[in-house]
Structure 1
Amino acid sequence: MTPDTKEVENGTTNGPSVSLRTGRKLTRNYDLMHLGLRLVSLLASIVALAVMINSKEKSTISLYGFEVPVYSKWSFSESFDYLVGVTSVVAIHSLLQLFMTSRMLLKKCSVISSRNHAWLLFAGDQVFAFAMMSAGSAASGVTNLNRTGIKHSSLPNFCKALHSFCDRVALSIAFTFFGCFLLAMSVVLDVVWLSEY
């Protein structure tokens, strides 16, 4: 019996057993990061959605010396409708992924069962990250117009009169972009998993 054979029988080799333990540790860390990202992504989407849906305000503005009543609500803008739709879908996606991830962790299995599953997650996370980015960008344009008014016209800055509405919309947009960042981080984790396994 050679020394190498004794080491393998005693489990003292630094080869496969160490790499197997390291692989399990990496997989467990990946699974926990995946779970954390899904949870925070779900929360960011819910906050963006809830704040936008509660965005409405009544006030008055002075236009050519006349007091004109104004009322603004998120549903008056197609860009805000789009943001509500996208954040709703992303919240549902994140909830489903969180549920599946939790179930797999409770079974003490890897969150990703196969390369096909990893590719599916990679594609889905990318699509939803781009959708969140486009929704946040579209809503930002409308919000910027509300804050600055239209140059070379008499259209005023509505956010002076409707500051609470504009602040809520801005907060919703910020959480939308944060959700986009979290989904992008999930894409990075998917790429790491695909390159390692």
Structure 2
Amino acid sequence: MPTDLRNRMDQESLSKTKNAASGSWGGLQKITTRRPLAFALVVALSMALGACGAMGETKADYMNLIVMGNDYKKNNDFTNAIDCYSKALKEADKKYGPESGQSVTAMGYLSQIYRAQGEWRLAYMTYKRLVPLKVKFEPKARETQDLVKDFDFVKSKIIEYGIKTEDNYGAEEMKKKASSTKDKKPKKKH
């Protein structure tokens, strides 16, 4: 019996399709007669908006800056990539807020470039802002764990090279390191 019900439903569906195609209940017929008018309206509206947009200078928005930065980074033009990511970060902070995902994305790209170029102080300051946000929003994500490891690596470089930071990170470790080298006296060989 279920097959009979299915066959009957198929027949009803087929008859509705035939009626729609022939235009007997007007479903498709109304749509097809309005289609050229709708297309002309869309074309006219897009041309008008395009002309209005061409009058003013276009300002690069957040997403365009990120895409441009990625292109520069791909072509090893790190100076322009840093410039684009910095502008994107400012735009994201202003438009979406300093704790937004857009700001985190821009900071992530900046920190990668700074770390890769050995700009330890800049990388440290970027990671210092980035890592707490990632831990806050995605504490168990693998990317967050990788960022924490990268931040620890940057911290070790700050101490290793004795780089001064705005928050005076590593000053105690640097003092200990300096005092331990002074305390060590060379051994005399007999």
TM-score by length of structure 1 reads 0.25
Larger Cα-atom Rg:
2
TM-score by length of structure 2 reads 0.26
Higher-strand-fraction structure: 1
Higher relative contact order (CA 8 A, sep 6+): 1
